[in-house]
Amino acid sequence: MAFDYKKEYKEFYLPKNRPEIIEIPAMNFIAVRGKGNPNDEGGEYKAAIGLLYGIAFTVKMSKKGSRQIEGYFDYVVPPLEGFWWQQGIKGVDYGRKEDFCWLSVIRMPDFVTKEDFAWAIEEASRKKQQDFSKVEFLTIKEGLCVQCMHIGAFDDEPATVAVMDRYVQENGYENDFSADRLHHEIYLSDARRVAPEKWRTVIRHPVKKMG
């Protein structure tokens, strides 16, 4: 049975649809940075997703190729995630999608080293005849956060964020957005197959104790 991060780490990927405070440890990711409206057809964001999955599946399928990654175990590719921000705004303004800056990421298993990642870039570029140079290998430690499962379309997220903000304040915390601590979403639904009102998205915000 392939290791499934969503099932093994439910506290990170399957929270309740009510806010909770959680400490998020360091994790390794492959990542692509970009700007602009994620809904634009042919835009940077959709191209970035293709690059990420190209590398993610190159690593996953390495077991069938010439590179034997030390410590490899079979696993389900973790879900797509995104860190979002806009210049001069703490949090995000959903009415200004064209101003979005984003870091689109997919988690990597701990056995994947920077050397394995470099091999995957070279391997995918050779096999797919495509430029994967925009993909980075990052370690991100979010630390103390509030998170909540949002059910519904992305444009309806402000209602969930408002509930999160209220919970944070009522429990002696405050939001702690900065250049390194960002609005974070984890996408658990296939938007091509699931109706928008049923989409499941983990929303996560950085927080700190008041005072």
Convert the pLDDT of each residue in 161-174 to its tens digit: 999 999 999 999 99
Is pLDDT of 88 > 90? Answer: no
How far, in Å, CA of 173 to CA of 209, rounded? 4
Segment 187-201 mean pLDDT? 95
Looking at the chain, the whole-number percentage of residues with pLDDT higher than 70 is 100
CB 6 within 8 A of CB 77: no
Q: How confident is the model at residue 181 (pLDDT cuts 50, 70, 90)?
A: very high
Average pLDDT, the chain: 96
Torsion of CA 161, 43, 53, 31, to 10 degrees: -60
HEC profile for 145-183? EEEEEEECCHHHHHHHHHHHHHHHHHCCEEECCCCCCCE
pLDDT band per the 50, 70, 90 thresholds, residue 90: confident
CA distance linking residue 104 with residue 168, whole number of Å: 26
| Predicted pLDDT of residue 143 | 98
Token pair 């009102």 is found at 197
143-157: per-residue pLDDT in tens? 999 999 999 999 999
- Rounded average pLDDT over 47-65: 96
Residue indicated by tokens 């389900």? 76
pLDDT confidence of 89, banded at 50, 70, 90?
A: confident
- Examine the pLDDT at 120 and tell me if it is beyond 90: yes
| pLDDT above 90 for 191 | no
* Residue given tokens 């191209």 in the structure block: 47
pLDDT of residue 85: 96
